[in-house]
Amino acid sequence: MRIEPMSRKNEEARKIKSKKSKLRKQGKSAGKTEEISSPLLKDLILEKIDERADVLLREVIEGGNEFARSPTYKHLKEYEKRVKRFITYIVEKEFKVREELKKTKGKTRVDLCVIVDEVNSQLKDLAERMMKGERDTLVYAAKVDEIKGLLLDLYR
């Protein structure tokens, strides 16, 4: 068995690998991120994201309807959990991907924050009304509908 002496190329390659390894451990990218140039690939990525967002939105709507029909603490918490899951997905996945694909026009982080704050305010109002013992399902249905409208604004 023959062992090759350390050459400049081998040493440089080892340094580059070491640097990439350190960056990966720190959670940083080792190379430059490239913009996706294929329109078909962009469309496929956006389609997958939209499918998942549609599923999450349907879950939110179902949870809201369930809460409006039967306003219990359990249903409220489940509804809040679904809303949070939807908002997290939209903010983390869809907005970032659309931003990277240069598809966001008119939506800014400020818009997202305003809508998310309003949704949180509406959820808090729902919880307060429930704690006060208010049992008017029409009020709950109206609040759920308001939240759904805000989420649609966030999504579309």
Is the pLDDT at 51 greater than 50, yes or no? yes
Q: What is the mean pLDDT of the chain?
A: 74
- Better-scored residue on pLDDT, 82 or 108: 82
Average pLDDT over residues 29-55: 68
Sign of CA dihedral 51, 52, 58, 64: negative
Q: At 1, is the pLDDT very low, low, confident or very high (cuts 50, 70, 90)?
A: very low
Gap between the Cα atoms of 97 and 42, Å rounded: 9
Domains and CATH numbers, the chain: 39-155 (1.20.120.490)
Q: What is the pLDDT of residue 67?
A: 92
Question: Taking the CB of residue 70, how many other CB atoms lie within 10 A of it?
Answer: 11
85, with CB counted inside 10 A (0-12, 13-18, 19+), is middle
Side chain identity at residue 110, one-letter code: V
